[in-house]
Amino acid sequence: MFIPIPDNISPILKEIGTISYSKGHRAYLVGGPARDLILKRKLKDIDIMVEGNAIGVAEEYARHHNMRVKVHPEFLTAKVKGRKFIIDFASARKETYPTPGSLPIVEPGNFEEDMRRRDFTINAMAISITPDNFGKLIDIVEGLNDLNKGILRVMHEKSFQDDPTRILRGIRFSARFGFTFEDKTLVYLRRDIDYLKVVSRERILRELEFISKEGIEGIRVLTKHHIHSVLNLCTVEDKILNKIIEFSEKTGINPEKSLLASLLMCTDDFPLTSHMRKNINLIKSLGTFDIIKVARIDEDYLPLVYAYIENSEEVVKFFTVRERISPEISGGEMKKLGISPGPEMGKILEEIMVLRWQGRIKTKDDEIKFIKGRLNA
Ligand code: CTP
């Protein structure tokens, strides 16, 4: 079976296939991009597998186009940043996992080993880009069948033990495509779910970020499989999820940060950025609407504020007037009035914002009058 290759990537793939062939290697589009082409979805990036030295192929392709190439000989990979796509090149490899949850030992392998090391059958298909059979689907694991049936099937019984993050990847694909776990895969998932605890919190957090990008379905599928309780994450009720989406639709704010934070509100176990920690702590400290606290929360997290507090309509109002309530007076102008930069200036700016919120200050002149009155008091 031949897969139609869209015009925007066909010349890129043809050229890479030809370079590989001239070096005596076969090359393939593999993994997510192969799956997405079959599904007729837009490609985010390009993953190439070369049966041979992928780094040499990447270097030659980059040289032709005057592009930079970043090589990782220890992983047998190279990355080229093209104008429209990032192209990842990898030599066919086999992987072994010394202990559950550890990173794999990578060794050169053949085509079949490279396909069989992968997470799900739908991600283990290859589309040839070699000139003699350009576009031919090579599917040794019946991935196409599973793709058509909407099934996530692991390649072998120990897959989730080798790499427990595959459980979270499965959640991500299930949410994105509406696929379900094949019966045995589901049995393995339930059996091996506790292996998630041996994975570093950094890697788990990264996967949770990806899951949050899938929207509320990502959180729903995670919860459905009880993964939140294994990882000590919050149980996020549908009511909250729906409100997050409602606010994000009203305002155009991307919900992903709020969805992620909704899971992380009840744990201190994850290495969050100080930025995210600050926002979560502020939201946790909110009972009802508090203009000073809400103004300190970054816009990305407002959907979560809306979902959590009682008088949520205030958050909508805040979003609409947020530019109008921010003080017009500059730091320099305040200095001229006799206020030195520091906590005092910050406090006055917040007071002005509250008065603007209450409608008691409307213009810059009002602000100056307020400051003068305050200094004379
Ligand atoms: N892969 C795997 N096990 C992992 C990570 C990756 O088997 N733990 C394989 C899969 O074949 C996957 C490919 O490596 O398709 C590329 O990985 P990645 O880019 O993370 O996955 P995508 O399937 O491209 O996911 P997305 O569509 O979300 O980018």
Summarised one tens digit per residue, pLDDT across range 347-370 is: 999 999 999 999 999 999 999 999
Closest ligand 1 atom to 173 CA: 28
Most ligand 1 atoms within 8 A of CB, residue of 123, 176, 208 to mutate: 123
How far, in Å, from the CA of 327 to the mean position of ligand 1?
A: 48
Ligand 1 atom at minimal distance to the Cα of residue 124: 11
Return the structure tokens found at 147. 């793709």
**Cα atoms in the 13 Å half-sphere on the side-chain side of 370:** 21
Return the residue whose CA atom lies nearest to atom 13 of ligand 1.
31
For ligand 1, pick from 119, 160, 176 the residue to mutate: most ligand atoms within 8 Å of CB: 119
Report which DSSP code applies to 29: E
Cα distance from N-terminal residue to C-terminal residue, the chain:
83
Question: 216-224 vs 238-251: helix axis angle to the nearest 10?
Answer: 170
Compute the distance between CA of residue 352 and CA of residue 324 in angstroms, rounded to an integer: 11
Ligand 1 atom closest to Cα of 163?
Answer: 8
Residues within 6 Å of ligand 1 by CB: 31-32, 44, 47, 118-119, 123-124, 163, 165-166, 169
pLDDT at 244: 97
pLDDT of 180 higher than 80: yes
Lowest mean pLDDT among 63-67, 217-221, 322-326: 322-326
| Residue among 215, 212, 163 at smallest CA distance from 189 | 163
Q: Give per-residue pLDDT as tens, 3-14.
A: 999 999 999 999
- What is the pLDDT, as a whole number, of residue 376? 83
Closest by Cα among 94, 13, 116, 110 to 57: 13
Q: How far is the CA of 266 from the centre of ligand 1 (A)?
A: 29
Q: Which atom of ligand 1 is nearest to the CA of 172?
A: 28
Ligand 1 centroid – CA 47 distance (Å): 10
Which ligand 1 atom is nearest residue 165's CA? Answer: 8
- Whole-number pLDDT of residue 318: 93
State the chain's mean pLDDT as an integer: 94
- The alpha helices in the chain, defined as continuous H runs, are 10-22, 31-38, 54-64, 111-116, 143-149, 159-162, 165-177, 183-192, 201-213, 216-224, 227-230, 238-251, 256-264, 274-284, 291-296, 302-308, 313-321, 331-336, 343-357, 364-376
Taking CA atoms, 246 is separated from 28, 99, 209, in Å, by 42, 44, 20
Query: What DSSP line would sit under 250-316, residue for residue?
Result: HH---SHHHHHHHHHTT---S---HHHHHHHHHHHT-SS--HHHHHHS-GGGHHHHHHHSSSTHHHH
Q: Which two tokens stand for residue 165?
A: 């993050």
Residue 288 pLDDT: 87
- Residue 117 CA to ligand 1 centre (angstroms): 11
Residue owning the nearest CA to atom 22 of ligand 1: 32
CA–centroid distance, 122 to ligand 1, in Å, is 10
Dig out the tokens for 79 from the structure.
């990355």
Token duo for residue 307: 């979902």
User: Mean of the pLDDT values across residues 76-94?
Assistant: 93
Is residue 168 over pLDDT 90? yes
The Cα 206–Cα 144 span in angstroms is: 28
Q: Is the Cα torsion angle 192, 197, 198, 199 positive or negative in sign? A: positive
Indicate if the pLDDT at residue 29 is higher than 80.
yes
Which ligand 1 atom is nearest residue 44's CA? 29
Give the residue, by CA position, lying nearest to ligand 1 atom 14.
31
Ligand 1 centre from 123 Cα, in Å?
7
Summarize pLDDT for 258-297 with one digit per residue, the tens: 999 999 999 988 999 999 999 999 999 998 899 999 999 9
Query: In this structure, what are the phi and psi dihedrals at residue 269, rounded to the nearest 5 degrees?
Result: -75, -15
Does the pTM of the predicted model rise above 0.85? yes
Q: Which residue, 183, 118, 192, is CA-closest to 151?
A: 183
Residue 71 CA to ligand 1 center (angstroms) comes to: 19
pLDDT at 375: 84
Q: Within a 10 A sphere around the Cβ of 274, how many other Cβ atoms?
A: 7
pLDDT band at 310 (very low <50, low <70, confident <90, very high): confident
Instruction: Determine contact, residues 123/32, Cβ cutoff 8 Å.
Output: yes
pLDDT of residue 191: 97
Quick: pLDDT tens for 94-136: 998 888 878 888 899 999 999 999 999 999 999 999 999 999 9
Counting residues of the chain whose pLDDT is more than 90, the rounded percentage is 85
**Nearest C-alpha neighbor of 227 from the set 166, 185, 182, 168:** 168
User: Which atom belonging to ligand 1 lies closest to the Cα atom of 33?
Assistant: 24
Write down the pLDDT at residue 377: 74
* pLDDT range class, residue 374, cuts 50, 70, 90: confident
Going by C-alpha positions, the residue among 87, 144, 150, 86 that lies closest to residue 115 is 144
Separation between Cα atoms, residue 122 and residue 124, nearest integer Å: 6
- Ligand 1 centroid from CA 32, angstroms: 6
Q: Closest by alpha carbon to 32, among 96, 125, 112, 98?
A: 125
371/377 Cα distance (integer angstroms): 10
The 10s digit of each residue's pLDDT in 189-212 is 999 999 999 999 999 999 999 999
d(CA 128, CA 206): 31
The better pLDDT of the pair 56, 323 is held by 56
